[in-house]
């Protein structure tokens, strides 16, 4: 593995590119929009500065990491020499199927095609290519430079060789990989999203307020963030789309999204990324409960 390409310069893509480059891989970050690439590079640089100021990396490591990173809006040119492509585009099935069909034409035959999807079937994504044995899930957690887990998802046709390569590669990135099978939500989101949905139901039913629910789970269960704060951090649109995958995939009403979540997504109150969800982030360092949920 020498040349890595990361598709999509959003919240996950910039973190994935950061981690590969910091681990010594030549990494190209690709997006259709130059502004997204510029924003991603500024974020990576800021996060590297944070690591330098905490003493977890040196200034020289920061410089070398940035030197190993390149950006491009030309997916075909970047993929022509890739050994591994990690797709981290928007969580939309049609978009991912199109990207994988394109990658299959653009990338060399030996190249492994991985998706950072949080819930879309790897088997379905692999079926858009002529190399389903080389398609795998590599699901990083946000914030990628901090979180140790990589959920490695084997599609129906993923080969043993490709699975072992990706497990070893994840270790080389300093992560702790866990191998799971390709069923709706995999493991992380099959367990996390019903908890978040239940927290939203708890608010909707009036059992407690936003801060009370989050405090119970932070102090009572030692979670670093309460479930409503975490939902804002992940993005409420992402939470809703994962719950829909679980609901459709298992056909079980226990995964039905809370109507309050549906309303908030419809109203574009998506959490950190739009400045308001359960909390208001006008001052991102000091979020306050959103006006809608403040005690009247
Ligand atoms: N890049 C690099 N370092 C970062 C960082 C970033 N983006 N964000 C935080 N850090 C580092 C900080 O420098 C700090 O380092 P030290 O421990 O060396 O001091 C450490 O992380 C903790 O950061 P802070 O002190 O700023 O803040 P915190 O203690 O509140 O931690 C947090 C922040 C790591 C985000 C923590 O709140 C947390 O773990 N939250 C839960 C995150 C989580 O559950 N993620 C999974 C979401 S689900 C998902 O991603 C998948 C999906 O499919 C939906």
Same domain, 86 and 205: no
Tell the burial category of 207 from Cβ atoms under 10 Å away from its Cβ (0-12, 13-18, 19+): exposed
Statement to judge: residues 173 and 210 lie in one domain: no
| Catalytic pick among 118, 119, 121, 280 | 118
| 127 token code pair | 């079926």
Structural contact between residues 113 and 133, judged by C-beta atoms closer than 8 angstroms = no
Same domain as 198, residue 173: no
Assess whether 160 carries a catalytic annotation.
no
Are residue 66 and residue 175 in the same domain, yes or no?
yes
Active site residue 181: no
CA distance 169 to 136: 13
Domain boundary among 115, 147, 180: 180
Number of alpha carbons in the 13 Å side-chain half-sphere of residue 191: 3
Q: Is residue 129 part of a domain?
A: yes
Q: Is the CB of 118 under 6 A from ligand 1?
A: yes
Q: 234 alpha carbon to ligand 1 midpoint, in Å? A: 12
Range of the domain at 21: 3-180
Exactly one of 87, 91, 151, 211 is catalytic; which is it?
Answer: 151
For residue 23, indicate whether it is catalytic.
no
Active site residue 280: no
Instruction: Point out the domain boundary residue: 122, 153, 180.
Output: 180
CATH of the domain at 269: 1.10.1040.10
Q: Is residue 32 part of a domain?
A: yes
Which residues, including other chains, have CB under 8 Å from residue 27's CB and lie 6 or more apart? 4, 5, 6, 17, 20, 21, 68, 69, 70
Pair (158, 41) in one structural domain: yes
Kindly state if the Cβ of 56 falls inside 6 Å of ligand 1. Answer: yes
CATH number of domain containing 42? 3.40.50.720
User: In a 3-state reduction of DSSP, which class is residue 82?
Assistant: coil
Count of domains in the chain? 2
Same domain, yes or no: 76 and 221 = no
Tell me the whole-structure pTM to 2 decimals: 0.95
Distance CA(12)–CA(89), nearest Å, equals: 9
From 78, 189, 197, 280, the catalytic residue: 189
Ligand 1 centroid distance, CA of 23 (Å): 19
Last residue of a domain, one of 146, 180, 214: 180
CB distance 12 to ligand 1 below 6 Å: no
Residue 205 is inside which H or E element, if any? none
Residue 76 lies in a domain: yes
> Residue 225 domain-assigned?
yes
- In order along its 296 residues, the chain shows pLDDT tens digits of 899 999 999 999 999 999 999 999 999 999 999 999 999 999 999 999 999 999 999 999 999 999 999 999 999 999 999 999 999 999 899 999 999 999 999 999 999 999 999 999 999 999 999 999 999 999 999 999 999 999 999 999 999 999 999 999 999 999 999 999 999 999 999 999 999 999 999 999 999 999 999 999 999 999 999 999 999 999 999 999 999 999 999 999 999 999 999 999 999 999 999 999 999 999 999 999 999 999 76
Strand bridging mode 135-140 / 112-115: parallel
């Amino acid at each position: 593995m020498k040349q890595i390409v990361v598709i999509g310069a959003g919240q996950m893509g910039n973190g994935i590119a950061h981690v590969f480059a910091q681990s010594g891989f030549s990494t190209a970050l690709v997006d259709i929009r130059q502004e997204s690439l510029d924003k991603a590079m500024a974020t990576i640089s800021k996060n590297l500065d944070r690591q330098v100021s905490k003493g977890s990396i040196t200034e020289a490591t920061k410089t070398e990491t940035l030197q190993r990173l390149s950006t491009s809006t030309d997916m075909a040119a970047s993929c022509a020499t890739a050994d591994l492509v990690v797709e981290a585009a928007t969580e939309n099935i049609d978009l991912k199927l199109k990207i994988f069909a394109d990658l299959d034409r653009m990338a060399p035959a030996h190249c492994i095609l991985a998706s950072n999807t949080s819930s879309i079937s790897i088997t379905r994504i692999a079926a858009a290519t002529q190399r389903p044995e080389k398609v795998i899930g590599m699901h990083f957690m946000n914030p990628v430079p901090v979180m140790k887990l990589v959920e490695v998802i084997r599609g129906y046709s993923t080969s043993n060789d490709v699975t072992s390569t990706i497990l070893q590669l994840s270790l080389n990135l300093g992560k702790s990989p866990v191998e799971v099978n390709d069923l709706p939500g995999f493991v992380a989101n099959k367990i996390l999203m019903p908890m978040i949905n239940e927290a939203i139901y708890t608010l909707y039913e009036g059992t407690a307020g936003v801060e009370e629910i989050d405090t119970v789970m932070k102090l009572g269960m030692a979670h670093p963030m309460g479930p409503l704060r975490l939902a804002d951090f992940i993005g409420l649109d992402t939470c809703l789309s994962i719950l829909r995958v679980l609901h459709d995939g298992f056909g079980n009403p226990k995964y039905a999204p809370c109507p309050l979540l549906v309303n908030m997504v419809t109203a574009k109150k998506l959490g950190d990324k739009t400045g308001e969800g359960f909390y208001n982030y006008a001052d991102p360092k000091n979020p306050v409960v959103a006006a809608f949920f403040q005690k009247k």
